[in-house]
Homo-oligomer: A and B are copies of this chain.
């Protein structure tokens, strides 16, 4: 397997509980999540996980949902990446079983914003517009805004959209794709009528 040709998907994220006792919220969410499907490393600013696409999205959703269930106002910022030509085939669990391990279906309203960066693709704006249309079709589109699009709804529908769009926005010809996501949960700023 050569650099840049791997199917590894990675996600670098930070979980931010707006609470004085933030450490147990973060550690509790990580401990409650089955992480066996992904490689993981934490530093002083963020955590990165790497592995098969479905495991990465399953784990991020599970961590987010566990943090949300504390009732605290939490935010998660994440960058999903695949196909970077500078990446290597190491630090991942690509040979594990494809079956995902986290199955909590608790409903939870989330409000988020995302941006797609299809790298080295001259037609990248078309990809972005197409995926925003997909959000509208899926019923999770919230608002247009500078530098991002608002996505909201139940956490499972929102992450289903993110996983689908991350898969659809890259191709064999244009493999390097980055997607950023900022998500806010249990916020006093969410309008009541937006809650699921």
Which A residues have a C-beta under 8 Å from some C-beta of B? 10, 12, 14, 16-20, 22-23, 41, 43-46, 48, 50, 73, 75, 77, 79, 81, 84-87, 91, 111-113, 115, 117, 119-122, 124-125, 128, 143, 145-148, 150, 178, 180, 182-184, 187-191, 194
Asked if A20 contacts B23 (CB within 8 A), the reply is no
Contact between chains at A146 and B113 (CB < 8 Å): no
**Residue of B48, B121, B183 touching A145 (CB-CB under 8 A):** B48
A46 x B113 contact (CB < 8 A): yes
B146 touches A87 (CB 8 A): yes
Number of copies of this chain in the oligomer? 2
A115 to B194, CA, bound (A): 32
Is A14 touching B120 in the complex (CB atoms < 8 A)?
no
User: From residue A182, how far is it (CB to closest CB) to chain B in Å?
Assistant: 6
The 5 closest A-B pairs by CB, nearest first: A16-B16, A18-B22, A44-B189, A77-B77, A20-B20
Known: A16-B18, A45-B111, A120-B121; 5 extra A-B contacts, CB below 8 A, are A12-B146, A12-B147, A18-B22, A46-B182, A119-B119
